[in-house]
Amino acid sequence: MDSRRLFLAACRHERVDRPPVWLMRQAGRYLPEYQKIKARYDFMEMCRTPDLAVEISLQPWRRFGVDAVIVFSDILIPCEAMGQVLSFDEQGPHLSPLIHSEDSLKKLSLLDPEKTRFLFETLSILKRELKDKAALIGFCGSPWTTAAYMMGKANTVIKEDPKILRALLEKVTRSLIPYVQGQIDAGVDMIQIFDTWGGRLSREEYRRFSLPYIAEIIKTVDKKVPVAVYCQNSCTLIDLIAQTGCDILSIDWTLSLQEARQKIPSTMGLQGNLDPQILFQSLEDIRKSTQAMLASNARHPGYIANLGHGVMKGTPVESVKAFVETVRTI
């Protein structure tokens, strides 16, 4: 079975010979071929230039034969298309001006999909190149995680000024809907919503500030494709995330896949969840840990093998290869 069909079959809960495999942050700094391109262009230029973004997206697929290609982009691209200035340096992303008053919120516009056309174009090219050879994944940040970056101090704002936070969450949600729809229209096979900062919320806060906005996106987009939601530090929130209407839960390593399965509907898919730190151990230990993760899950319907968070900077390329090959040869 070709990789795209295998991936889609797993998303549909059909029985498969082995689980499909890909890695969050599979494109990036740990790859020498990425470093080569990065030496010549800055991060935003790489995201905005379809030929470069296509090339970087395909690098991990060519090297490891993963079953899915996630488009090279960033969850903060929509912030720029709403009017903030976005830059990246060695410390990470910088957004300005940060949103912390009604005035700065008012100045923010709703996302204009014309401003993110480069992403849709990148996806269309990837779709043409990949055909059925690999599934294509599009993504966005959750409204909460996106808003947290846009404010730069999300946790205090919840306590200080929930009114501004709510208004921002609504604006971000209304912006992410056409952004996700544009990716679906460009031909992605799955959308993953990264709620990386969701795990900082209490259950009550998650119910108020994250869950309904993710649910709104999933409910509103013309849903031809499955949606996965990733949340970091999600072990106390997993049943709530399952209420977003997502098809697949992408979990970190703080909960085993078996334990996670007991907390969610049996028709919901699971993705994950090897600790990315394990990729710094010996190849033999990596294979053992991957086999242990797969032992009771590999043939469970609705399972996609992945890490529990993104590949870390400095991860040996051989380790990623050992992880992918262990899944592919079970």
Pick between residue 54 and residue 75 the one whose CB is nearest to ligand CP3.
75
Binding mask 112-141 for ligand CP3 (x = CB under 6 A): ---------------------------x--
Check if the beta carbon of residue 129 is closer than 8 Å to that of residue 192: no
Please report which helix (H) or strand (E) contains residue 328, including its range: helix 317-328
> Which window, 69-77, 174-182, 215-223, 318-326, contacts ligand CP3 (CB under 6 A)?
69-77
Nearest CA-CA partner of 192 in 125, 151, 136, 258: 136
Please report which helix (H) or strand (E) contains residue 53, including its range: helix 50-64
> Which window, 3-11, 85-93, 109-117, 247-255, contacts ligand CP3 (CB under 6 A)?
85-93
Residue 299 CB, shortest distance to ligand CP3, in Å, is 26
Binding mask 135-174 for ligand CP3 (x = CB under 6 A): ----x-----------------------------------
Sheet containing 269-274: give its strands across. Answer: 68-70, 135-141, 190-195, 227-231, 248-251, 269-274, 303-307
> Which window, 88-96, 114-122, 264-272, 276-284, contacts ligand CP3 (CB under 6 A)?
88-96
Residue 301 CB, shortest distance to ligand CP3, in Å, is 25
> Which window, 67-75, 79-87, 94-102, 237-245, contacts ligand CP3 (CB under 6 A)?
67-75
- Checking DSSP bridges between strand 248-251 and strand 269-274, what pairing results, if any? parallel
Q: What is the DSSP string of 58-78?
A: HHHHHHH--SEEEPS--TTHH
Helix (H, G, I), strand (E, B) or coil at 203: helix
**Cis omega (within 30 of 0) for bond into 97:** yes
Alpha helices in the chain (DSSP H): 3-11, 32-38, 43-48, 50-64, 77-81, 102-107, 117-130, 143-151, 154-160, 162-185, 203-209, 211-220, 238-241, 257-263, 283-295, 317-328
Pick between residue 43 and residue 280 the one whose CB is nearest to ligand CP3.
43
Q: Is 80 in the site for ligand CP3 (CB under 6 A)?
A: no
| Residue of 6, 10, 16, 24 interacting with ligand CP3 (CB under 6 A) | 24
Residues 189-228 that bind ligand CP3 (CB under 6 A): 194, 196
| Residue of 3, 26, 175, 319 interacting with ligand CP3 (CB under 6 A) | 26
Q: Is 93 in the site for ligand CP3 (CB under 6 A)?
A: yes
Q: Which residues bind ligand CP3 (CB under 6 A)?
A: 24-29, 38, 43, 70, 72-76, 88, 92-93, 139, 194, 196, 310
